[in-house]
Each structure stands twice: as structure tokens, then as C-alpha cells.
Structure 1
Amino acid sequence: MTPPPSSYLDSNQCAILALWYEVNASLSAYHKLLSAFGGAQQAWEAGFEAWQALGIHAAHLARHKNKEQTSASIDRIEQALTAGQYQLIFADQSEFPAQLLQIYDPPPLLFCRGNINRLQQAQIAIVGSRKPTAHAQKTTFDIAQYLAQTGYVVTSGLAMGVDKQAHLGALAQTDSDYQGRTVGVMGTGIEVFYPNHHDKLFSQIIEQGGCIISELLPHTQPHKHTFPRRNRLVAGLSLATIVTEATIKSGSLITARLTSEQGKQVFALPSHIDNKNAEGCHHLIREGATLIYHPDQVISDVNVQLDFSTNQSSLTAPSKPSTPRRSSPQSAADKTSSVHSMPAHTSSPIKVPEHLSSIYGLLDWHGQDLDALLIASKLTAPQLISQLMELELLGAIDVQGGRYLRL
């Protein structure tokens, strides 16, 4: 018995979807059945005893025995597709992201909402803590905004904290050519909002031209096992992964490990040594991740990989990749000033005048007192106070408890 083709899905697609439903989106069971029977239709048509002989889980066997339930599930999905609630693309279709076919355990299909063309474009993942420091949130937002402005798509896992700031940073564009350059990978069914209060973020991504995907069946609820699966897709879609802040036990380290196992580069931002939230980044750097202080460093390295990738697949390169800034060694002052070009937390970045760049370069997001700045800058007190006042009027810095810090 073959699942009947519908007006939306052909017979082979129905068989793939039926099989995916009956194994409850189990990658191991799905690939075992395909390997044993040679295809989705043959596997779905095989009898209960044939599945049982392969050692298929009892819950999957029970679903396989109830063909009416399978057909009803396919009907519900087809109705949702016809109503435009979401899209469904299969691994043999041109719309399916080719880079996912290169990973060890590719999904046979993806449920999608939004602009699926984003899946074909060059992506860089940004991941990190669900409870990041204010500094990490701002840095994540700025890096994502910068990458999107240079033509890359920012991919993340739609979680709280760093993931959310990565998506929002990519969406913070006024130029229509760069709007919506983000892909969100879900650890739930395509219509399940998690966290619950992120429904506005999901809507914003879709409305502004981004894309949200899930390999899991509709209505799948969050579970501790679904998020590592999501992480492998985040890594698989992307040319590289940036970890902006993470603890040692963060799921972001799973994404970093998967990125490395897929032969791609991992980047990590350093922080001060007593920041417990950054211990994961420091561990990654010690284990061989590339330390970065500006997204141009990521772009420079990724462009080399992209030149190769675009010759091997249909991946679309950024329309306006930035020019790498690594042609010559930089002094400490040069390194600091290069960070100033990274966009601020708004669509109109603050431009620090050249005569203020030296003092601005001495400031951080933790704060410096006046005495320390006098020693470091070698300016007189009136000169220093005058420059700090200019920066404050520009909205580039703030004063909190007598300490000057960047905004």
C-alpha cells in the first residue's frame, strides 16, 4: 500500500513524509529503513514483520501498523501546506540547502516559514549563552548587524539571550537589500513557539524576509533531545560559527564541536578572566578556536572558504562582501580603531571623530575611572575631561558611578 499522492505532494514525497511520521522523525530509524529497503516507498510498503526484524523501536512499529493514522497525519500536513501555514521542502529538491546534504545525518525534509531563498545564501552562525551579560548582548547584536550589512545571512537557534540578539542584529537594517538576512532553526515543530514569548521575534523574522525552519514534525514540543539536533543544523547551514559568550556547559559548545567536526572554522570572543559566562569561549580558544575582536576577521577567513564552496555547490555568495582588513599587521591603536566601524545598537551607527578615537579606544563596556584614563591617555585633566564630554554628547559613552564606559 503506497500513500496516495495529493494535489501538493507526489507519491514519493508522501512516502517520505509517511515514513518520517511513523519513525517520529528518528534519523537513525529513518536511515536504517532506507538502507534496508532501498527507498522510502519500499520501506513504507514493507510489512510489520520486516520492520520488526530490523530492530525498529516498538513505538515506531505501532505507528507503522496503523496506516489510517499515518494517512490522517499526512492529510493534516497537506491542509496546512495548502493554507500557506508553512512550506515543506525535500532533500532532492533544488530549494533544499545543499550544504545540509554534506553533513553526516542530513534530514530528509524541512518545514519552513518565510523566505526559503535565505537557505541558499552564505550563512554564518552566531550562538552563545541564554543569559548573556549586557556586554555580550550588545556585541552579539553589533556583529550580527555588521555581517548582515556585508551580505551574509546570520543563522542561530531562536533561543533567549545571544540567539535572540543575533537575529535582531541581522534584522536591524534600513537598506532593503539587506533586510531579513537571518535564518532561525527550531528545536520544536514549525508552528510551536519556544520560548513562548518569542512569538514576536518569529513574526518579525518572517515579515522582514528571513526564514525559520524545522526538521521536526508539526506540533513537536521542546525536549532536551531536540535542541542538539537543532544545533547540528545551525552548524550545517553555516560556513562558520561565532561563539560570543558561553559557559562551559552551554549548548553552544555542542554547536561549536559540530562545526569543527564538519570541517568548518569556529570563532570565539574573549572576555576578562573572571567572567564565568565566558569560560566556554576561553575553553574553545584554548582548544584551537580562532580568537576574534572584529567581524572582519571572520569575513576574511570565511571568504576563502566561500570561494571554494561556491565552486562546489549552488550556495549563493554575499552580494557585497566586505574587504578583509588583514593585509598588514596592526598596532594596538589600529586594532582598537578598526572596531569603531562596527555598527552600534541602532540602524545609524555613531561615528567617533578621529581626534577622539584614541581616548575612545581606551574605554570598554566595564568602565574606567578618571585617574586610570589620565595615566593611560597621557593627557592633561582639562584635555581629557573635554574629550570625554564630547564623547558623552555624541552618545558614544556614559558615566556610571564615576566610571566612563562605552554604550
Structure 2
Amino acid sequence: MTAVTSSLSDDQRAILALWYEVNASLTAYHKLITAFGNAQFAWQATVSAWRQMGIHHTHLKRHEEPKQTSANIEKIQQALVDGRYGLLFSDQPDYPTQLSQIYDPPPLLFFRGNSARLHQAQIAIVGSRKPTAHAQKITFDMAQYLAQAGYIITSGLAMGVDKQAHLGALAQTDFDYQGRTIGVMGTGIDVNYPNHRDHLFTQIIEQGGCIISELLPHTQPHKHTFPRRNRLVAGLSLATIVTEATIQSGSLITARLTSEQGKQVFAIPSHIDNNNAEGCHHLIREGATLIYHPKQVLEDVSGQLEYSHRSYSASSLADNLNSHQATTTHATDAPSIEPVASTATNQQPPSSIKSPRSAAVIPEHLNVIYDQLDWHGQDLDALIVSTKLTAPVLIGQLMELELLGVISVQGGRYLRV
């Protein structure tokens, strides 16, 4: 690992100036770069030249105040010196190659933590901000499994599914597998939104993960900033998993962008009256791959990884931080190794996601009742009707299954684990 340079070149200052003056508008930025050839020429152009190109009046107003632009660049320069965050430009070798391949790549990325994660094989996990308890558990377990298999888990740092995806990836007892997550922000790199994320940010950075934003520091959340974040989540990743989402969820935007980028979308089904899963069912109907175990993701993504390996490498033991104290470090040379995912199918799940009945052998006399159970739960009366067992026999067998660790009781309802 090497320290990020805190000294900005003239070209980089011009890029930052332009990015500030167009208020991080991708359309305006690329329009100016196309017209003038580079950021320095675009920034030095007159206000009237910008106006003739149809640049928005708010951008023109900022362009009229070069002193204010310079003052903001100096603030960013000082933040880089202080190590509050790092900065990657699209023409640098450290800039993630996979982002340069999307339709509208950002010209720069602010980051905190270990930016080497950006060069490793990633799988996005997204979903509802208000998931069911079952979806939270599935998300956490799936992220933990895939991180243990060698992948980086990328998500949007929102409450609900996103948060569980990050936490699952961080829940590793093996040092070599810690910090395998990237959080993409829909705000400025220094904005804590929502408030619960402050602790999550710290945990991600201290364990060797990374958080990024294309937006300028101090940028507050807005309805248009989150779809922008979603395109980066999709762009960084080999595939996207939607664990639970409503039909109006922003996760479907991520899924659509993933598909438009020629990558695979996975969706986890649920029961048909779960309104929280309508988005997943819609995705499956539209062609997303139905999955119920992360091993299925590994099988499908491994082929893509061999193709994508020419662009960026899979994770390795050597890429981990020697120390988790630095908050703005990056590698100038991402490790080039054979994909870890190629052997992932031989690994055992690190969490409660397992192949059917792999965790414990179900005794034959318990098969009838076990086969009647699902992951949503049934009460005792319903089980008496479905199994045709007497209450004492049923309770005894449920207790046996609970002792085996294959079922649990929640609110008087029995369900598989």
C-alpha cells in the first residue's frame, strides 16, 4: 500500500474546478470536455462561450466566480493533506477499470478506506430499506458466504438490506477475509446520512473496506443523487443480487442498470402475498435468475469472472491491509492473481445459509413435520392439521428439531432456519 498523493496537478485542479462549477452534472461536464478538449481549456473558457453551449444558468453563475471555485479547491486540497479522504481521477491507473466501461463514468471518485477493494471482483447486494426479518437474515448470510468465497460485497449504505449486506461481509473472524465490502454514497464523502451510518462507516474503514462518492464534499441527499449512486453500484459489480424489494424500490433501478450493462441479475423469491417482495417477483418474471443459495451465484458468476479478469482481478490474501488504521490508502498496482471464486464451490458456508439439510441429518421419524415447515413460520394449530399428529407427539418432535438446530420459534410460530 502507498499513501495517496495530496498534491493536485494543474490538470486535476482544472477537473475539480469544472466538476464544482457544473455542480457534479455529468451532462454538463462531458459537454464541456467534448467541446473544449480538456478540463483546463473548458475552465479557462469565457462565460459567454459556456452560455452559447446552453450550459445551465446556475453553472454559469459559479463560472463567474473563479475565486470561490479556487477557495473550494483549496478546501479539498487541505482535506487530502489531512487524510480526511482520498481522490481518484479517471485518467489514473488506480481508477477502477470497470467504471470506465459504463456509459457515463464519473471523472473522479472521493474515497475513504482501502481503495484497492475497487479493483477486486465485486457482487452487489441491494434491496428494501424496510425488509422483513427473514430478508435481513438471508441478506446477511448471503453476503457473509460470498465474502468468505473471495468476493467484495458492494451496496449503497442505506438502511435495511444494504446495511445487512455490508455487515454480513464484515462478519468474518478470519483476518484475511475482513473488510470485503464497498459502500457507495448518495451524498458527499463527508456527509453522515442517515445518522445510523456513522458507526457503519467507521466499521467498514477500520476493517479494511472502502466507501466512495462521485459527489462533491458537503453534498446533501437528494432524490436524484441515489439513482446516480445505483449506477456506480451496478457498474462496479459483476452481478447484482436483489434479496427483497417492493415494486417501487430503487433496487430495481440498480437491477435495470446491471442488465443494461450486460451483467446478470439475481433475485430471491418469497411467498406471493409478501408485498415487500413484489419487486423480486417482477424481476424474475422479466428474466432475472431465481436463486435460493449463494452457491448458485458463484456458479454463474465464475464464468464472467474469467472474462472480466482482464479488466480487474479477484481478491487475494495479499491485498489486505497491513494495518487498518489508515483511512486513505490505495494500491498503485492491484494484485493480479487467479480468481478465488474458481475454488469457492469447495468452501463451506460461514453462516446459516447451507445446502438443504447439510447442517444436520434429519431423523426419519421427523421428516413428516420438517417437510411441512417453511421459512415464514406456522403455528401449532396449523401444524396439527397438516401433519395429523396429536399435540403431545407434535410438540415432542418440534422440540427434537429445535435441539438439532434446524428450526426456531418466533412469536409462537415454528420455522426453518
TM range, smaller chain: 0.7 to 0.9
Q: How does 1:7-18 map to 2 (within 5 A)?
A: 8-18=7-17
**Higher mean displacement: 182-191 or 367-376:** 367-376
Q: What is the percent sequence identity of the aligned residues?
A: 72
Q: Does 1:363 align with 2:373?
A: yes
Structure 2: gaps spanning 5 or more residues: 317-338
The residue that corresponds to 1:334 in the other structure is none
**1:398 maps to which of 382, 387, 408:** 408
Cα distance between partner residues in 1 of 2:140 and 2:117: 19
Q: Deviations over 1:118-163 (max 9, x none)?
A: 1000000000011111111111111101110100000000001100
Q: Which amino acid aligns with 2:123?
A: I
Q: Deviations over 1:11-46 (max 9, x none)?
A: 111111111011110000000000000111111111
Q: 1:403 Cα deviation (Å)? A: 3.1
**SS state at 2:157 partner:** coil
The residue that corresponds to 2:77 in the other structure is 78
**2:312 maps to which of 290, 297, 314:** 314
Cα distance between partner residues in 2 of 1:386 and 1:92: 67
The residue that corresponds to 1:354 in the other structure is 361
How high is the TM-score relative to the length of structure 1?
A: 0.88
Cα distance between partner residues in 1 of 2:72 and 2:125: 35
Q: How does 1:298-337 map to 2 (within 5 A)?
A: 298-311=297-310, 313-317=311-315, 320-321=340-341, 323=343
Q: Which amino acid aligns with 1:367?
A: G
Q: 1:244 Cα deviation (Å)? A: 0.5
Structure 1: gaps spanning 5 or more residues: 1-5, 327-337
**SS state at 2:307 partner:** helix
Cα distance between partner residues in 2 of 1:43 and 1:206: 36
Q: How does 1:3-402 map to 2 (within 5 A)?
A: 8-311=7-310, 313-317=311-315, 320-321=340-341, 323=343, 341=349, 343-344=351-352, 352-355=359-362, 362-369=372-379, 385=395, 387-400=397-410, 402=412
Specify whether residues 103 and 401 from structure 1 end up closer, same or farther in structure 2 by C-alpha distance, changes over 3 A only.
Answer: closer
**SS state at 2:222 partner:** coil
Q: 1:363 Cα deviation (Å)? A: 3.1
Q: Between Structure 1 and Structure 2, how many residues are aligned?
A: 385
**SS state at 1:368 partner:** coil
Q: Please say if residues 314 and 340 of structure 2, whose CA atoms lie closer than 8 Å, have aligned partners that are also in contact.
A: no
Q: 1:299 Cα deviation (Å)? A: 1.0
Q: Which amino acid aligns with 2:351?
A: P
Q: Please say if residues 6 and 80 of structure 2, whose CA atoms lie closer than 8 Å, have aligned partners that are also in contact.
A: no
Q: 1:60 Cα deviation (Å)? A: 0.7
Q: 1:109 Cα deviation (Å)? A: 0.3
Cα distance between partner residues in 2 of 1:376 and 1:295: 31
Cα distance between partner residues in 1 of 2:142 and 2:390: 35
Specify whether residues 216 and 400 from structure 1 end up closer, same or farther in structure 2 by C-alpha distance, changes over 3 A only.
Answer: closer
RMSD: 2.7
Q: 1:393 Cα deviation (Å)? A: 3.0
**SS state at 2:75 partner:** helix
Q: Please say if residues 15 and 40 of structure 1, whose CA atoms lie closer than 8 Å, have aligned partners that are also in contact.
A: yes
Cα distance between partner residues in 2 of 1:237 and 1:354: 40
Q: Which amino acid aligns with 1:193?
A: N
Q: Please say if residues 151 and 314 of structure 2, whose CA atoms lie closer than 8 Å, have aligned partners that are also in contact.
A: no
How high is the TM-score relative to the length of structure 2?
A: 0.86
Q: Which amino acid aligns with 1:343?
A: S
Q: Please say if residues 118 and 182 of structure 2, whose CA atoms lie closer than 8 Å, have aligned partners that are also in contact.
A: yes
Q: Please say if residues 145 and 349 of structure 2, whose CA atoms lie closer than 8 Å, have aligned partners that are also in contact.
A: no
Cα distance between partner residues in 2 of 1:122 and 1:362: 39
Cα distance between partner residues in 1 of 2:345 and 2:382: 30
**SS state at 1:321 partner:** helix
Cα distance between partner residues in 1 of 2:342 and 2:397: 31
Cα distance between partner residues in 2 of 1:25 and 1:396: 51
Cα distance between partner residues in 1 of 2:204 and 2:376: 32
Q: Which amino acid aligns with 1:203?
A: T
**Higher mean displacement: 225-234 or 384-393:** 384-393
Q: 1:317 Cα deviation (Å)? A: 5.0
Cα distance between partner residues in 2 of 1:242 and 1:224: 23
Cα distance between partner residues in 2 of 1:401 and 1:7: 55
**Higher mean displacement: 377-386 or 172-181:** 377-386
Specify whether residues 42 and 230 from structure 1 end up closer, same or farther in structure 2 by C-alpha distance, changes over 3 A only.
Answer: same
**SS state at 1:81 partner:** helix
